[in-house]
Amino acid sequence: MSGTLPASSVDEFQIIADLFAPLSRGYPGALNLTDDVALLAADPDHETAATMDAMVAGVHFLPDDPPDLVARKLMRVNLSDLAAKGARPFAVMLAAAFPRGTDLDWMQRFAAGLAADVAEFGVSLIGGDTVSTPGPLTLALTALGKVAKGRAILRSGAQAGDVVWVSGSIGDGALGLRAARDGWPGLAAGHVSFLAGRYRLPSPRLSLGAGLVGLAHAGMDVSDGLVQDLGHICRASGLGARIEAAKVPLSAATAAALATDQTLLASVLAGGDDYELLFTAPAHATEAVLNLGRRVGVAVTAIGSMAEGEGVRVVDANGGTLSLPHGGWRHFSATETGAGA
Ligand code: ADP
Ligand code: MG
């Protein structure tokens, strides 16, 4: 096969057979990607959680980003959604629209990255579509996971009095985007590469999410920013939330960046791409949540609580409310504000 896609007819069958079919091994229902569909076994005790995220060159990644990392991020942002529901991933499907003339080398490196994560997370690629496009390279991945019937952790399950928790550290994704794009003069090189790595290659919190089934009342993953995403849980649950800015867990790198520029707090609390889990659990589950975090090796931090009302209130160390009215977090009077207001 030549190094580029022919302009008129994409040899999609060869691409599928060579690059993608090997990733379906281990899932007989995928039929080695040689039929029209994949067959998923029905199981009366479980539900299948399904999610899809798409990435467009020039929008969600840069055309010169390493293709293996593009594949792995595409995989991981989807697995993060399954993790947030407590579902265990078993299969993914890929729709790939390659511009005419896409390098075969790019596709091979993309498939190699996908293969690495297929192996790491124990999933199979069970189908998809491969087409050419006059537009930018566009990739969409569907991830399927299994969760015990009726036990998925939904956004709508929070109860007043619940403790609000987050996993890992918050803000690395948003600061990492900046670090990956522009570097960061004035910040230690180790911190810069840590942040860029957190942006490029998120870690879906799958073991934590699965362990939270039966413990957490509500949950989601932090992809659009902590405050906005907690706002989604508030709306879905018909409640409000109060979190303490000082309790939000920060990596050493983000803490160091914040020490040089306090206004970065806005990006930490409202930026996106963290792919940490945000969940609520009753106060009596606190020990169990902490034990789970220790068992799976992921930090879990209580940052606030759910209450009657609406919107997310972020308070500073003095109990004053922080608000984001003009593009930056600032001190605000002690009135309640909606998420992302
Ligand atoms: P159709 O003609 O119905 O579009 P295809 O010939 O495109 O079917 O696909 C053949 C098989 O290859 C199907 O099982 C399909 O799910 C799979 N497939 C196609 N593209 C991909 C891809 N990018 N990743 C995984 N599986 C794929
Ligand atoms: Mg097709």
Residue 170 lies in a domain: yes
Ion ligand 2: residue ranges with CB closer than 5 A: 129
| Same structural domain, 142 and 181 | no
| Same structural domain, 121 and 165 | no
Tell me if 329 is assigned to a ligand binding site.
Answer: yes
Instruction: Check which CATH number belongs to the domain holding 137 and give it.
Output: 3.30.1330.10
Q: Provide the β-strand partners of residue 33.
A: none
The predicted structure's pLDDT at residue 2 = 38
Tell me if 221 is assigned to a ligand binding site.
Answer: yes
Long-range CB contact pairs, 321-330, < 8 A, 24+: 322/245, 322/265, 322/269, 324/227, 324/266, 324/269, 324/270, 327/266, 328/263, 328/266, 329/263, 329/265, 329/266, 329/269, 329/270
Residue 24 lies in a domain: no
| Same structural domain, 277 and 160 | yes
Atom of ligand 1 nearest to the CA of 125: 25
Residue 89 lies in a domain: yes
* Ligand 1 touching residue 142 (CB < 6 A): no
Residue 332 lies in a domain: no
Q: Are 251 and 198 in contact (CB under 8 A)?
A: yes
Q: Provide the β-strand partners of residue 225.
A: none
Residue 266 lies in a domain: yes
* Amino acid occupying residue 168: G
| Same structural domain, 163 and 141 | no
| Same structural domain, 272 and 172 | yes
Atom of ligand 1 nearest to the CA of 30: 14
The mean pLDDT of 212-231, rounded to a whole number, is: 96
Q: Which ligand is nearest to the CA of 95?
A: 1
Indicate the range of 2-6, 44-48, 119-123 predicted with least confidence.
2-6
Written as one string, the DSSP assignment of 116-165 is HHHHHHT-EEEEEEEEEESSS-EEEEEEEEEEETT----GGG--TTPEEE
In the chain, the number of structural domains is 2
Residue 184 lies in a domain: yes
Coil/strand/helix, residue 322: strand
Residue 321 lies in a domain: no
| Same structural domain, 302 and 172 | yes
Task: Please give the residue that has the higher pLDDT: either 62 or 166.
Answer: 166
| Same structural domain, 245 and 283 | yes
| Same structural domain, 119 and 251 | no
Tell me if 273 is assigned to a ligand binding site.
Answer: yes
| Same structural domain, 182 and 66 | no
The predicted structure's pLDDT at residue 340 = 37
Which tokens go with 2?
Answer: 């030549």
- Band of residue 309 on the pLDDT scale cut at 50, 70, 90: very high
| Same structural domain, 188 and 95 | no
pLDDT 10s digits, 225-244: 999 999 999 999 999 999 99
pLDDT 10s digits, 48-87: 999 999 999 998 888 888 999 999 999 999 999 999 999 9
The predicted structure's pLDDT at residue 337 = 40
Nearest Cα residue to atom 20 of ligand 1: 129
| Residue-number span of the structural domain to which 284 is assigned | 155-315
Instruction: Check which CATH number belongs to the domain holding 184 and give it.
Output: 3.90.650.10
Q: Are 199 and 276 in contact (CB under 8 A)?
A: no
Task: Please give the residue that has the higher pLDDT: either 42 or 106.
Answer: 106
| Same structural domain, 44 and 144 | yes
Which of 132, 148, 164 corresponds to the end of one domain? 148
* Ligand 1 touching residue 15 (CB < 6 A): no
pLDDT 10s digits, 180-199: 988 999 999 999 999 999 99
Residue 285 lies in a domain: yes
| Same structural domain, 130 and 176 | no
Q: Which ligand is nearest to the CA of 13?
A: 1
Nearest Cα residue to atom 16 of ligand 1: 127
